[in-house]
Amino acid sequence: MTAERDVWLEGGIVWAAPNGNLAEEASRDLTRRALALAEETANWRILFDFRRSKLTHDVLALNRQAELLSQHGLPAIARTAMLCRHRSTDFQFWERVLTLRGLAAATFTDGQAAIGWLQVSPQADDSAEPGSDSLAPRPIDLAAVKRQLRQFAEQRRHAPREEVAAEFRELMEYVQTQAGYLGVDAVRGLEQQLRDAVRRSDD
């Protein structure tokens, strides 16, 4: 019996559409295979359709998937969309990681809207069409990042302490990596804040 395909090329779009529970490593493998097909066929319109699957990983794993995409060296004409059943701040965060890297990425809950956005020519206006449900590229500020971190913390309030500690260690490492990408030493800044706090307490 032939296994159902989960990555294929159709209408100039590379589809990656898994079924059932999708663990992080399986998601990374799916991403690698989608990128390989895009490179092999020179079709750089990629659609991750997660409507028939359930992701068993968290927002940090989605960020790692976004990093995998950005590190691949996508051409300027590339567009990447993610299609899901419901709007989610996790998927929004995935989108923003990619757009901050200068890549065209958007999340959708409507298949036709996603396909329409992917099929826009490189010369066309990148803004979403009226009526589109795209969560598409928009500026992000520090306040928005803080709100998302607050929401993440609220969602993990009742999780095991060891698990939360590990997640926040990973998050801090990720923040440090992004700061380094911008030429900023985040650890030095944190150390300075701690020294200032100690000095204030001694006054």
Q: Which CATH number does the domain housing residue 130 bear?
A: 3.30.750.24
Tens of pLDDT, residue by residue over 42-87, are 999 999 999 998 888 777 888 888 888 988 888 888 999 999 888 7
Range of the domain at 194: 156-203
> Does 101 share its domain with 160?
no
> Does 57 share its domain with 22?
yes
> Does 166 share its domain with 124?
no
DSSP string, 4-17: PPSEEEETTEEEE-
Tens of pLDDT, residue by residue over 156-192, are 778 888 888 887 887 777 777 777 767 778 778 777 7
Q: Please provide residue 159's backbone torsions phi and psi, each rounded to the nearest 5 degrees.
A: -75, 160
In a domain, 41, yes or no: yes
In a domain, 144, yes or no: no
Summary mean pLDDT of the chain: 80
Q: Give the pLDDT confidence score for residue 132 in this predicted structure.
A: 42
Domain count, the chain: 2
Q: Give the pLDDT confidence score for residue 150 in this predicted structure.
A: 78
In a domain, 145, yes or no: no
> Does 116 share its domain with 168?
no
Nearest to 179, CA basis, from 150, 152, 142, 144: 142
> Does 34 share its domain with 102?
yes
The domain boundary, picked from 89, 110, 138, lies at 138
Q: If phi over 0 gives left and psi between -120 and 50 gives alpha, with beta otherwise, what is residue 83? A: beta
Q: Give the pLDDT confidence score for residue 36 in this predicted structure.
A: 94
Over residues 140-154, mean pLDDT: 73
In a domain, 147, yes or no: no
DSSP element (H, E) containing 107: strand 104-108
Tens of pLDDT, residue by residue over 77-99, are 899 999 988 877 888 888 888 88
> Does 99 share its domain with 41?
yes
Q: Give the pLDDT confidence score for residue 163 in this predicted structure.
A: 81
In a domain, 36, yes or no: yes
Which percentage of the chain shows pLDDT scores above 70?
85
In a domain, 2, yes or no: no
